[in-house]
Amino acid sequence: MKHLVAPSLLASDFGRLNEEITLINESTADWLHLDIMDGKFVPNISFGFPVLKAVQKIVEKPMDVHLMIVEPERYIDRFLDMGASMITVHYEVCPHLHSTISQIKSSGAGAGVALNPHTPVESLRDILAELDLVCIMSVNPGFGGQKFIPHTLEKIRALKQMIVQQNASCLIEVDGGITLENAGSILRAGVDVLVAGSTVFKSANPKDTVSKLKSLSMDTLKV
Listed ranges 7-15, 18-26, 115-123, 160-168: which one lies at the site for ligand DX5 (CB under 6 A)? 7-15
Instruction: Catalytic residue, from 30, 64, 175, 192: name it.
Output: 175
Site for ligand DX5 contains 209 (CB under 6 A): no
Site for ligand DX5 contains 203 (CB under 6 A): no
From the list 10, 1, 22, the residue with the least C-alpha distance to 175 is 10
- Which one, 62 or 176, has the nearer CB to ligand DX5? 176
Are 148 and 138 in contact by the 8 Å Cβ rule? The answer is: yes
**Residue 12 contact among Zn ion, ligand DX5, none, beta carbon within 5 to 8 Å by kind:** none
Angle at 25 between CA 219 and CA 107, to 5 degrees: 95
Beta carbons within 8 Å of 176's beta carbon, 6+ residues apart: 137, 138, 139, 141, 146, 148, 149, 195
Site for ligand DX5 contains 46 (CB under 6 A): no
Known active-site residue 175:
yes
Residue type at position 137: M
- Which one, 133 or 216, has the nearer CB to Zn ion? 133
Question: Contact positions toward ligand DX5, by CB under 6 A?
Answer: 8, 10-11, 33, 35, 66, 139, 141-142, 144-146, 175-178, 195-199
